[in-house]
Amino acid sequence: MWALTLISAGSVFFPGLFLLSKLTLRHMMGWGEGDAAVVSTRLVSSVQAVMASSAGCVIVSSCRDVMEDRHWLTDAYILFATPYFAYDIYAMFLCHWHKLQVKGHEEEQQQEELGAVRSRGAAVVGYLRREVLMVLHHVFMVAFCFPASLLWRQGKGDYFQGLLFLAELSTPSVCLGKVLIQYKKQHTLLHKLNGVVMLLTFFTCRVVLFPYLYYAYSRYASIPLYSVLLVAPWQCNLGAALLWPLQLYWFTLICRGALRLFTRRLNAPPKTFKPDHGGCLTQSNGCTHHQTDRH
């Protein structure tokens, strides 16, 4: 009964928070439907990430024996958070749908979406094509990781489950970065600082995480690192084999974006001013003009 209660609570909490945030932004802040939906989606993702990371910190700090020690938060948060991934698939589609409705944004979409921007069916196809990896990730979390974490591990390894919760530490900075880009704030100091935090947290909590799981167990069992692959349950190896390359791919995309922004800034023309024949100071890149006093 308690399992059903927690699943039901999560099924209500995450969509409810999304609707509450969207209504608040629309009616109290005067935002449009699309902007409110996109920002609300990022907000719910960040809230879930903070909750998961907090649970992970409590679990990891409480488990001295990485295999035998248990903490009630482990199973409880798995049950509560699983509905989030189902909700997020739909929330991401709403964001995709609203972006298609923004005037001028259609030019960035694929041609088949341009011809049927009012068709939900075509929008679903376009959404699945654009977000296929994220959708598959969420489906895998519900269809495989949920039973693996709750049933197949048979109460063992709460410490490792807590470490997996800590992977969400990078999510708030990822969400903030997307919001800043959406509102053309990618050249602000906040975006640069957030980018540094995102790189560090994503690398530490997602890229390094999976090798560390195997390293931690090798120390616990006093066996060589390569031997862990042979003794670990197949569910653990399968989950790591599918999820770790995905994190590496996303981290590569983040690094490419950061490098592109950095090189674009380096290649930008210097903002020097030169006097022209009319007595004006003209910026060398032709952006602004300032009239000087003439006596």
Could you report the per-residue pLDDT of 218-231, keeping only the tens digit for each? Answer: 999 999 999 999 99
In a domain, 144, yes or no: yes
Assessment of whether the complete model's pTM goes beyond 0.85: no
In a domain, 154, yes or no: yes
Alpha-carbon torsion, ordered 10, 61, 230, 156, to 10 deg = -60
Name the domain count of the chain.
1
At 103, give phi and psi (nearest 5°).
Answer: -65, 130
In a domain, 176, yes or no: yes
In a domain, 70, yes or no: yes
- What is the CB-side half-sphere exposure of residue 98 using CA atoms within 13 A? 17
Average pLDDT, the chain: 85
**Residue 291 pLDDT:** 44
Which tens digits make up the pLDDT trace of 125-155?
A: 888 999 999 999 999 999 999 999 988 888 8
Confidence of residue 122 (pLDDT cuts 50, 70, 90): confident
In a domain, 291, yes or no: no
Buried residues in 201-225 as b, exposed as e (16+ CB within 10 A): bbbebbbebbeebbebbbeeeeeee
Do residues 201 and 170 make contact, with C-beta atoms less than 8 angstroms apart?
Answer: yes
Q: Is 273 helix (H, G, I), strand (E, B) or coil?
A: strand
Confidence of residue 102 (pLDDT cuts 50, 70, 90): low
Range of the domain at 11: 1-103+126-266
Per-residue tokens: 129? 């094509």
At 68, give phi and psi (nearest 5°).
Answer: -100, -30
In a domain, 280, yes or no: no
In a domain, 38, yes or no: yes
